[in-house]
């Protein structure tokens, strides 16, 4: 897998875990699946950041998202 794709998937999974964690806390249950998803997301993001030469800057994220989406649209 490409590091850009791993980074984008990690960010998307991380964003999707936020409502799941909030929902579990509001229901009074333990957010087990959401916690596992958050750990996987964090691992994917850290892996992508450390395995890319030079890393990523915060300003590079829109370009990375655009490149990954463009690959799947074409």
Using DSSP's 3-state secondary structure scheme, residue 30 falls into: coil
- Rounded distance, CA 44 to CA 26, Å? 27
Q: Which residues contact 43 (CB under 8 A, 6 or more apart)?
A: 10
pLDDT on residue 72: 87
Q: Average pLDDT of 6-11?
A: 96
pLDDT band (50, 70, 90) for residue 27? very high
* Tens-digit pLDDT profile for residues 39-68: 999 999 999 999 988 889 999 999 999 999
3-state helix, strand, coil in the chain (%, to 5): 80, 0, 20
pLDDT on residue 73: 92
- Rounded distance, CA 40 to CA 10, Å? 8
Q: What is the pTM of this model?
A: 0.89
């Amino acid at each position: 897998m490409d590091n850009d794709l791993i980074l984008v998937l990690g960010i998307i999974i991380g964003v999707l875990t936020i409502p799941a964690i909030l929902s579990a806390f509001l229901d009074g249950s333990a957010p087990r699946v959401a916690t596992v998803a958050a750990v996987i997301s964090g691992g994917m993001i850290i892996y992508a950041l450390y395995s890319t030469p030079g890393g990523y800057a915060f300003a590079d994220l829109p370009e990375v998202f655009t490149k990954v989406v463009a690959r799947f649209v074409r």
